[in-house]
Amino acid sequence: MINQNLHRRPVGLDSALHRNLKVKLPVADWGVGSKLNAVFVAAVEFGDACREFPLVFVKAGKDADGSEAIAPIAVLGLTQNSNLYLTGDRWRAQYMPAVLSTYPFCIARIDDQRFAVCFDADWPGAQEAEGQPLFDEQGQATDMLKNVQTQLEQLEAEIQRTRVACKRLQDLGLLQDMRFDVTLPDGSKHTVDGFMTLDDKKVTALPDNVVGELHRSGLLGLMHLHWASLGNMRRLVDWHVERSAALPAASPAA
């Protein structure tokens, strides 16, 4: 999965072109994610992610059958291009979503069966001087690159499973458009919208056989983790106020 606000210049790895390329891992400076105000999270991550982030749903293009695709995201900021989970270059949460933890690597799908492993060519930690090599002298992938590829393949598989889960929620009509309104300490109003949450009234009205199906599939548990995560919006408000207070006061107009 390529995120344009994270993978600034994704380039497919080529054993000939990148024979001498090395990467300095783990990533020490997360300033690269400073403009991320949300990031995709797979369903398998909900148990860890719900403790740290508000987890909501957004429209994500079209599925293969032409229907609206839905994806879960972790909200990282209340305004565009603002990541409140960064303090300087440091990630301040205990959990890091898989899309971030596999950085600077990502997958670009070529077709339904094939994909290319890419890296962010704008990341300063990818260079030839020092770090862990991606290819050996014969142009074969090193163990480190093989492990990265395995992680990316596993993430891609979880992305597909998550799409199926979200489609089921959508087919049942359980998602509702939502907005989050907050009054800041100075009295000003701030609204976050453009996302969806699960409608608890519609979920409560589901027939027993459907509830049983959702329980057996694991979806019911994910739904409760989603609801529990929404309490983290308060954390974002507090951090937003904290960051705003730290900004230098604007100079008076001439």
- Bridge partners (DSSP) listed for residue 89: none
Q: How is residue 88 written in tokens?
A: 């300087």
pLDDT tens for the chain, 254 residues long, are 888 889 999 999 999 999 999 999 999 899 999 999 999 999 999 999 999 999 999 988 877 777 788 999 999 999 888 999 999 889 999 999 999 999 999 998 777 777 899 999 999 999 998 999 999 999 999 999 999 999 999 999 999 999 999 999 999 999 999 988 877 777 777 788 889 999 999 999 999 999 999 999 999 999 999 999 999 999 999 998 888 887 665 444 43
Sign of the alpha-carbon torsion through 105, 14, 61, 215: negative
Q: What is the pTM of this model?
A: 0.90
- Bridge partners (DSSP) listed for residue 115: 109
List the helix and strand counts (H, then E) for the chain.
7, 13
Parallel, antiparallel or unpaired: strands 38-40 and 90-91: unpaired
| Residue 216 confidence (pLDDT) | 96
